[in-house]
Amino acid sequence: MPRYTKRYAKRCLVIFVMFFSWLGSVGFSELSAGDEETYKGLKIFSDVIDLIEKNYVDPVDSKDLIQKAIQGMVSSLDPHSQLLPPEAFEELQIDTRGEFGGIGIVITMQKGLLMVISPIEGTPAYKAGIRAGDVIIKVDGESTKDMMLWEAVKKMRGPKGESVSITIFREGQANPMDFTLVRDIIPIESVRHLVLQPGFGYIRITNFQENTTGDLTAALNDLEREKTPMKGLVLDLRDNPGGLLNEAVDVSDVFLEKGNIVSIKGRLEKHTKTFDAKPNRSRHEYPIVVLINGGSASASEIVAGALQDHHRAVILGTTSFGKGSVQTVESLRDGYGLKFTIARYYTPSGRSIQAQGIVPDIEVRERLIAEDTVAEGERMLKERDLKNHLDAEPFPDVSIPFPTDKEKKEKESGKEQNTENRYGPLDLKGLQTDNQVMRALEILKGYQILTEVHG
């Protein structure tokens, strides 16, 4: 074996020894320096690197091989654990702050396609006419095929004033469309509100970031300063993917005066904690209906579960995603990060919602569904569908179908809700066609009438 290959194999071995030693420092103490089986495995790994580097048909990047090997090891634990390259680690940190430089779109990956969920109101993408459902096929001339979601986000974000070009495919257009957008500072507005009817407020929380609780408090103050006193609130957590645990706790605490909010339990004592409510200076004692669906996950499930268990709110909608695990992110050398699961969380009554979700008190689907169409719960990807999820079951064949012809006609006739607009500006007219919001309003008004009748 060439001398440089031997040296590299030794470096690989040292890297993995250091990596496992670091894991031991955060709680995996069984992988100690004296563990013979661990070192046997590391030796096999170094042998594999040596053979591939020396004999593979094409030249290989050994650093890339090692990174993918670590990624494979971590991702085999559960779907939420992963090695974060410096770029991905940076994007994760940005996502929890209040603003960033970019073009202002919410995107997702469906069937390997980079799809726009919604442009954000007032941003470059919004002003340029980017629409929900547009498929981004190129960024600065580079194909998005096989591109990771964080890579696409990284390419579209950047300093204010710099331009980025995107090519999109839009249904109904024969040819791709090119847009050149000048980046701007994009505020991440996680809380929006309006008055549904005098005395009845609506608040939408799209994610849980650093300033969410403060924004929620400000929204409640605005609603409570209206001429008609508050009689009820609709709190919309649909399609809220989660975010910061402490913000979920604080948001729950806004509506609770005492008792447990959530408990997290891990293998280590330091990863086992309980979070309790504290008395509030401003009490919000009016009834609440919380809206959830299959896109409500993690932090939003903590809030829904706490308010449900304390009988502080009626939960309406469809069963939530079912992500009942807690992740931490640790910094590694050279800008890398490691995101991994440290605990499961439990609602005040002791329920674990992992792979089960929060079941609503009143089930109301988001759209009017004919008997011969596929039910919403059968169409939306859930935690239990993810490979290697905790308490795993066999991984089913999951697909996300595009709208059928019948669904398109329903949308055109106004029977289907425009749920994409949840990320855009609030529109009272749009909410008045949302059957879940209107059902929630009916419940609040009915409660008010009964209270007045019975004193």
Q: Which residues are catalytic?
A: 298, 309, 323
Cα distances (angstroms) measured from residue 368 to each of 38, 97, 365, 415: 56, 37, 7, 7
* Pairing mode of beta strands 135-139, 113-119: antiparallel
Distance CA 318, CA 239 (A): 11
CA atoms within 13 A on the CB side of 226: 20
Strands (E), 63-199: 82-84, 99-102, 105-110, 113-119, 135-139, 142-143, 163-169, 177-182, 184-187, 191-197
Measured CA to CA in angstroms, residue 228 lies from 196, 220, 232, 426 at distances of 12, 14, 11, 21
Q: Amino acid identity of 390?
A: L
Q: How far is CA 340 from CA 19, 39, 67, 251, 334, in A?
A: 14, 23, 16, 24, 18
One-letter amino acid for residue 345 of the chain: Y
| Cα→Cα distances 256→232, 276, 282, 424, Å | 15, 9, 11, 29
SS3 label, residue 254:
helix
Q: Which residues contact 404 (CB under 8 A, 6 or more apart)?
A: 373
Please state, in angstroms and rounded to a whole number, the distance separating the CA atoms of residues 440 and 436. 6
